[in-house]
Structure 1
Amino acid sequence: MADKRDYYEVLGIDKNASEQDIKKAFRQQAKKYHPDLHPGDKEAEAKFKEVNEAYEVLSDSEKKARYDQFGHAGVDPNFGAGGPGGSPFGQDIDLGDIFNSVFGGFGGFGGGGRRANPNAPRRGTDVETSVYVSFEEAAKGAKKKIQYKVISTCPECNGTGAAKGTSPKTCTSCNGSGRVTINQRTPFGVVQTQKACDACHGQGKIVEKPCHHCDGKGRIRKTKSVDVTIPAGIADGQILNIGGHGNDGVNGGPAGDLHVFVNVRPHAVFERRGNDVWCEMPITFAQATLGAEVTVPTLDGNVKYTVHEGTQPNDIFKLKGKGIPNLNGRGRGDQYVKVTVEIPKNLNTKQKELIKELQKVTTDKNYQKRKSFMDKIKDLFKD
């Protein structure tokens, strides 16, 4: 734990960062070090894991509170003298137990009062990961297999934490409630407070023979894979929710969800603006002057388009229905093509002479007789 960097430092935020700030910082760092962008780079892979670990803690309000109070020890299930059945800083800690054990309940203040059954089913927490897709995959949809880390019920003990052939026993100190009542004599009389049972660490059960596979924790971390459908029309930064693929629940509770952040790689030719696609189309000087049929790339393949005679640089034409499909709806956007005219270079003597002749002709016919805007204004004020 001593070698671990501060989680706030890893994400580049301060302790007062909001939930949105934490999520934004995670996405920025995850994009920066994602293995897809650094194939074979072990250092980037290690930093990506570090970023995910930091986000897993700081995005969970309970884990964040433990981390803020105890540092890495507060979120490390292997830390402390918890032993079988749980740790005082383990996965299922109750912050009210810490408060009451330090400050006392004072008849209901500081988290006292009725407590939930420690062995009741609880839903697993959500997990977040990211996927990178190409521009075309985002536009047309795709199937992706995603691997991510989850906390799963131990297959050897089915989550009990007890070795095969054995089972946890109800704690006799708290009769399975996970909490004990303490009578304290004060100047105001005898005050009853509650705290987590020291014998079972608030679990209500004691594991005498811990499972060798999970060291008595009942849960293990493993890599899981899932096939994800990327819907056509999805945009960069959108999130897909996959129900029931997060961390396993506790005591038979349902699993959490998986949130997949979609990152769309930029395209060399196309640019997305809403559901429209934009691109630039270079044509020759002759094509712009005389008009011509040109080949235009689209998401559906190349199409033919006739540029009109006298097309100017930066003119824009539209290909209807060649844009991005509407997400979860009908229809699609359009494609806009901005014309760029390539001026010929390295002309030989004959070619230069032809250009000069063309200039003379166009100057004589078109430009000498054409009055400028200012000339027309001056004419209005002539006597």
Structure 2
Amino acid sequence: MNDNDVMNASLSPAPGCPQSNRVKLFHTSSPVGNKEDFYSILGVARTASQKDIKKSYYQMAKKYHPDTNPDDPSSKEKFAKLAEAYEVLSDEVKRKQYDTYGAAGFDPSRGGAGAGQQQYYRAGSASVDPEELFKKIFGEFSGGRGFGDFGSMFDQRPEFVMELTFAQAAKGVIKEMTVNIDDACQRCEGKGSEPGTKVSKCNYCSGTGMETVSTGPFMMRSACRRCGGRGSIMTTPCVLQTVKVPVPAGVEDGQTVLMSVGKKEILVTFRVQRSPVFKRNGMDIHSDAMISIAQAILGGTARTQGLYETISMQIPAGCQVDQTIRLQGKGIRKMNSYVYGDHYVHIKIRVPKKLSRKQQALMISYAEEETDVPGTVNGVTMPTGQTTAHPHGNYSKDKRSNIHTRN
């Protein structure tokens, strides 16, 4: 899309989902009916968890990455197939559709069970650059780790999920979360009480940590209910601390960050909520803006909600429904950079359901001047045999005058 197609804050044809021409996609040319099963490609069972799918994808992608197989021309195709399979199976909605309809459910050219369903994916070609997918999931937060170091993280680190709003993911945020990991508290060094305070013996169990419970004719020993079996009571317990997670601006749904908590490392996967206002396409965002009929015909200015602020934009005269105004640099910031996407505003025209008598008279006057109406207009009388409104219709001037007088 060049400057002749779309100008900053100017009218342009509505784009589909703009993509950069610099991104090269790997394509597979096998027909849908002969496509290899996505689960088989990743080497996982159909009941595999998302963690197992991600782990298997990383291991397989590492094995067939073109950089590690420069002498194997087939590695690119294998690497692309892995991206194709992972893109579907890592998304629960796409995965469910694939489990129900198979690859045919993603092919818009085929009928059958998948026909009529929403097309999330086209079988036969990866809809993302395999290299970009790999970097997006593992590279952005790896901190320069090599393949060997990063691959073992799934077996050693607990994984947590953090919910983010659309705005938090787009603009970045420092968000707190509570984690439950087996690690010594740095504040109390694992003692469980505030530094400088003493631990008192539990009088309930006399410091043994066990209590005797009578159940009829039987006696049973169990962990002390008051001290939890520790044998002591912390008069000033250490306060539990929450973890502050720095969420970078531009993070996408499903991305994972590796961070340290005390002496441990954890994985935090982001789940981004949908926005009632914006739709995201990479770094670009799309939204709708409502304008009046007068604004559409005569032009003017309109205000619309932006990601960072309320934006005033110019409406050109003759604006049409679903035409698009591009707000350059008002989109989402690319993660770990200072590059911003664009905000595309799709124009909607508000048609009033009721008019005052004066407004109705004005509209009838306007209709009498139209020459390209494919049909008739209520309230405008046309000569016999004429199928469009006449530029000098027979609508009574006296009737219009009466309407103006009554108003």
Same fold (TM over 0.5): no
TM-score normalised by the chain length of structure 1: 0.44
Which TM-score applies when normalising by structure 2?
0.42
Larger radius of gyration: 1
